Amino acid sequence: MNVLNNLLRKPGRLLLTFITKAAIKKHQHEIVVITGPGETAPAREAVFQVLKEEFPTRRNLETPASEFCLPLAVLGMAYYPNGIGQWLLSLAKTVVSLIKNRPYSHKLVMEVPDHQKDIFDYWMRILKPKVVISCGQDPVKYLWISKVIFQIGYPETPKNDDYLKIAKQVGRYFGMNKDILDKAAFIFTPPKPRISIIKTDHFIVVDNSYFYLPSPFKAVLEVVEKLGSKAVLITDRKGDFKKSKALRLKIILIKKGEMPKDKGQISEKALVIRVQQPLAQKLIEKITNILIV
């Protein structure tokens, strides 16, 4: 399967590139890229919260863990296709939607890691962002991408007010109403960790829910080992099933939207949730009811 995936990666990238270019051209998206080694999530949230007060605005909900997460976010796809069949179906629906729907221009706020230079450079040439925000990095590095660059966290460590100032500068660049900008506020809520632990009187939930891709399986196992108790893995990813069998970890493989049906399925004190959002939150609530009743 890995060999097949590698063979399909290049044509997949070309196809995604073509569709992404077509979407940006048709809808005339204006893109703000936030990148650098510093804290990019607060900048993403601040810019999003300010721009959405006046413009239709979207942002990616998690830092891209894979190259293809970036074009999927541009295309407005809420999940990462699993397998060739899902990819073809999802892209076909996107193309049909692109042809049928009227142009709808809006701002895109994209948090993009730059640690893989070849991938970063490739997609910057495709996205052609209007604005780049450099976090914790000399902005000169990004001059080739855009002439409009704001910097934060270089060399000083930024505070919440600094993120709001940058966001307002971006708003001014896009011509936001002065009264709206003056009233803009930003209270940063840190993004949920990729792996978080929820403790109750009855059990522990290891929440590894995701939008596009979950954390590496190995990282989840390390968390479970530290808990010192046996665990049940609830997942919608078939690859987890094979790995869990080899490790003799009890697993419940569910289809998207499906809930565990009986209390007997869940017998351990620790539960690992590797299910896509927003269904993961409903699943956690449902599991709570199953265990307590």
Residue 87 burial (CB count, 10 A): 17
Please determine, for residue 250, whether its predicted confidence score (pLDDT) is greater than 60: yes
Which region holds residue 131: left if phi is over 0, alpha if psi is between -120 and 50, else beta? beta
Contact criterion met (CB below 8 Å) for 56 and 1: no
In the chain, domain spans: 2-183, 196-292
Give the confidence band of 2 by pLDDT, cuts at 50, 70, 90: very low
Report for 5-9, 124-128, 273-277: range of highest mean pLDDT: 124-128
| Ramachandran region, residue 43 (left: φ > 0; alpha: ψ -120 to 50; beta: rest) | alpha
Cα separation, 45 vs 122, in Å, equals 25
Whether domain 2-183 has CATH 3.40.1190.10: the reply is yes
Sheet holding 250-253, edge to edge: 196-199, 204-207, 270-274, 231-235, 250-253
pTM of the model as a whole: 0.79
Q: Are 37 and 88 in contact (CB under 8 A)?
A: no
What would the pLDDT profile of 218-243 be if each residue is shown by its tens digit?
888 888 888 776 778 888 877 777 77
Tokens representing 120 are 């970063």
Which amino acid appears at position 115 of this protein? H
Average pLDDT rounded to a whole number, residues 205-224: 84
Choice between 40 and 203, residue whose per-residue pLDDT is larger:
40
Q: Find where tokens 């949730």 sit.
A: 273
